[in-house]
Structure 1
């Protein structure tokens, strides 16, 4: 069956009733029917009488979590902002509103989102379903912590309100539940009042992994912290990093560090675009080593120099490049994100990085963050460290990732479902002790026989 699969988008095939969908990693691709309801009521109706269905936001889940085994319901038509209370900073939006939409509308008015992931091009519904986390999880928790309530369409057509006091078990199971409890129609969030939209950033150089973890632990009081890791460095430099610490800048910070800056700059535009036919072979061990060396030197030059940085590149560094996922070529890529409990993190992450550096084809942007406790029973975070890396799909990749999985399982860690495209059922079940709570909720609402993604079918959820 001939296909033309665009990254994270639908592509027409011979049967007009079906399309091929992929996640942001362009792997795997699967057939499904795509439904695009224009209103919450139409979205609820789209669920009725269907099975093998799941909701989909902006297509930024990397693997197969947002592809229904039979049908997929897009939330992009649910794009309206409903109301905002300036006194409480509570914002109610439909599920298809993106983080980019919210920041574009409210950053200039002195409000920000308390929790943002690594891209602003995700929907609110998707952010709740994955309980996304940001650079401040060690202090402020995940996206679910800023959600006061949401309205959920159940498979039978009932629409229920969920909060910590109303349908609390369903509320908790939906956080990180990957759309398997129902379809989120709208949500009420709490925004963060800010004096300016700049970040006051400190850059620290860490010569190896131990030094990077020391920096993150020693600066746990910082609101935001993240480490870029050169995952191709070896020997004594294994895990060498640039650690970025940041706080929301005040007016006084602007007076001191950037008196000519406007307090509330506009979002940055996408400056570059990767062509669809980008040759994947250009991203090889040599080119990545050159990139990593240049990136490390450029970042190290800012060590000890407190400076103001625009919020957009600090939180969303790759969003400036349109369709950057094409860099990995037609076969696509897998983003591998694990979390390792605190007490075992140094040893296990060193082992993982050693294996990755010897393999030589990992990503040019590898990230290490400190996490706190998770929110819902299916939330990915646990108290420890999360490492994120990209790998181009190849004939030898999955056997290699199976080896990394074994290290993660043995350490009591787990893999992030929003990034997953290939982990085994055994790996998944060992890492998510809250799975029973999700299964119970699914059985109670009838979702277990009606809602199914390719991810849930693969993992037996």
Structure 2
């Protein structure tokens, strides 16, 4: 056992101490679970949940990043099998050399496969391809009693499988994954870009054109006011074919060039990201974007994971960290989306990152976040005055609209609101109680939101 270690989410708020162990094999993970004390245990990947989902105050945390090994690609079946500690970045590099790509990737490659499934992550292609759980063919789950169960959407304990997809690590420790993959010709994207002048034009253009593209996302300026409220930069893309590339890139079309990331300063002053600095950036970014550009070849890493170019970018929010807020509301509830956008603009809330997407078909996971509708994700400095009340008001509007918050992003919601947003929570609890009757698996998120 190691000494207690302070852990936080990517937002760097609410640190808590836990004993951390680093199993290298499923057998070592089972031994660690057997040693869990009264405060329970939890698996943790690369720590990219924004809040307290991968923390267990006073308990035992299994750092699963050493549950790795070479992925095994089966091109005949169109699937890859990999240890759950494999990062999506590493998996991408392995697959691209062979002409394949993961079916879903979120906004960072620094996520383990196990963590991606526990959060049922989604990407820019949810409106077409759903979330990652829809592409998992099977997984091996280590239960608190030491059983290694292979479960999938159509074999084994299917209830347990779907309780694990989006289950925030509270049903067991995922040790390996069998995942469908998609064929690609190149390591580039063919990108179309449009600059929009306000929220109405943003929504109209997305609604009209999203189904023509596999990947689509819109950056939104949440500090713009008046007629410019909700202006954005919409990017949509397909995987580039060899013939889409400039001649120099055709020589090695599958070469993956993630590059060496820059490092954010180890320390940033409080309130570095404020209305003035973020407003200046937003204005410059919006004006620098092309009004209309078609067919640009962009490297995969730059399109899917632009923030991975800066190591430790979360430190830019200063010592108090930041809050990530993501919600989804059904189509037809655009008034709620507008209320949030206008509310943030009016409050002068300095959101450096704000992305709008349209979501498609959900998975059957009871705690899976995505639903058909509009999703907006944004971040705000945790020290922003009045932030708690502002977001609580948004929660009420999202709930009234039939929407929900993303548990992998949350660090501050009320338990009552989350329970109302996830009506299948009681069914999920029954499955969890069956597989973990002694209540070994627990997290700070689960305690705060009374999920167990």
Q: Structure 1 length as normaliser, TM-score?
A: 0.93
What stretches of structure 2 of length at least 5 have no aligned partner? none
Partner of 1:349: 337
SS in 2 for 1:287: helix
1:231 and 1:353 in contact (8 A); partners too: yes
* Equivalent-residue separation in structure 1 for 2:329 and 2:113 (angstroms): 27
Q: Which residue of 2 aligns with 1:128?
A: 117
2:46 maps to: 58
The CA deviation at 1:108 is 2.3
2:417 corresponds in structure 1 to 427
1:381 to 358, 370, 394: 370
Secondary structure in structure 1 of the residue aligned to 2:293: coil
Change in Cα spacing, 1:94 to 1:16, as seen in structure 2 (3 Å) is closer
Task: Tell me how far apart the structure 2 counterparts of residues 409 and 290 of structure 1 sit (CA, whole Å).
Answer: 33
Asked if 1 retains the 8 angstrom alpha-carbon contact of 2:71 and 2:91, the reply is no
1:28 aligns with 2:14: yes
1:260 aligns with 2:251: no
**Residue number among 399, 408, 421 corresponding to 2:398 in the alignment:** 408
Q: Secondary structure at the match of 2:432?
A: helix
Does residue 1:333 correspond to 2:322, yes or no?
yes
Does residue 370 (structure 1) correspond to residue 358 (structure 2)? The answer is yes
What are the superposed Cα offsets for residues 92-150 of structure 1, whole Å, 9 maximum, x if unpaired? 11111000011112212211111000000000000000000000001100011121100
Q: CA deviation at 1:304?
A: 3.2
Q: Which residue of 1 aligns with 2:170?
A: 180
Aligned equivalents of 1:316, 1:370: Cα separation in 2: 19
> CA contact under 8 A between 2:267 and 2:316: conserved in structure 1?
no
Of residues 120-129 and 200-209 in structure 1, the stretch that sits farther from structure 2 once superposed is: 200-209
Distance verdict in 2 for CA 1:305–1:446, change over 3 Å: closer
Displacement of 1:305 after TM fit? 3.2
Please say if 1:238 is aligned against 2:229: yes
How far 1:280 moved relative to its partner?
3.3
C-alpha distance in 1, partners of 2:131/2:408? 14
The answer to whether the Cα contact below 8 Å between 2:2 and 2:19 also exists between their aligned partners in 1 is no
Do residues 148 (structure 1) and 134 (structure 2) align?
no
Name the CA distance, whole Å, in 2 between partners of 1:396 and 1:19. Answer: 31
Residues 386, 448 of structure 1: alpha-carbon distance in 2 compared, 3 angstrom cutoff = farther
Match of 1:10 in 2: none
Whether the 8 Å CA contact 2:273–2:352 is kept in 1: the answer is no
- The verdict on how the C-alpha distance between 1:16 and 1:187 changes in structure 2, with shifts beyond 3 A counting, is closer
Which residue is 2:99 aligned to? 110
Aligned length: 442
Residues in 2 aligned to 1:311 and 1:120: alpha-carbon distance in whole angstroms: 11
- 2:240 is aligned to 249
Alignment CA distance shift 1:193-1:386 (3 Å): same
Indicate if the aligned counterparts of 2:240 and 2:297 stay in contact, CA closer than 8 A. Answer: yes
**Is the 8 Å Cα contact of residues 19 and 61 (structure 2) preserved in structure 1?**
yes
- C-alpha separation between the residues in 1 aligned to 2:83 and 2:410? 26
CA distance in 2, matches of 1:251, 1:368: 30
Q: Alpha-carbon deviation of 1:380?
A: 0.3
Q: Which residue of 428, 435, 440 corresponds with 1:450?
A: 440
What are the superposed Cα offsets for residues 49-85 of structure 1, whole Å, 9 maximum, x if unpaired? 4252111000000100011231111101101135221
Partner of 1:105, secondary structure, is: helix
Query: What secondary structure does 2:181 align onto?
Result: strand
Indicate the SS of the match to 2:91: helix
Q: Give, in angstroms, the shift of residue 459 of structure 1.
A: 0.7
Runs of 4+ with deviation above 4 angstroms? none
Aligned-partner Cα distance in 1 for 2:2–2:102: 39
Query: What is the 5 A alignment of 1:216-235?
Result: 216-221=206-211, 222-235=213-226
Native 8 Å contact 2:261 2:308 kept in 1: no
Contact 1:182 1:447 in 2 (8 A): no
Which deviates more, 268-277 or 173-182?
Answer: 268-277
Name the CA distance, whole Å, in 2 between partners of 1:193 and 1:306.
20
Map Cα deviations across residues 289-324 of structure 1 (whole Å, 9 max, x no partner): 1111111112135x1332111111110111100000
Contact 1:153-1:184 at 8 Å conserved across structures: yes
SS in 2 for 1:420: coil
Which residue of structure 2 aligns with residue 170 of structure 1?
160
Q: Does 1:46 find its partner at 2:32?
A: yes
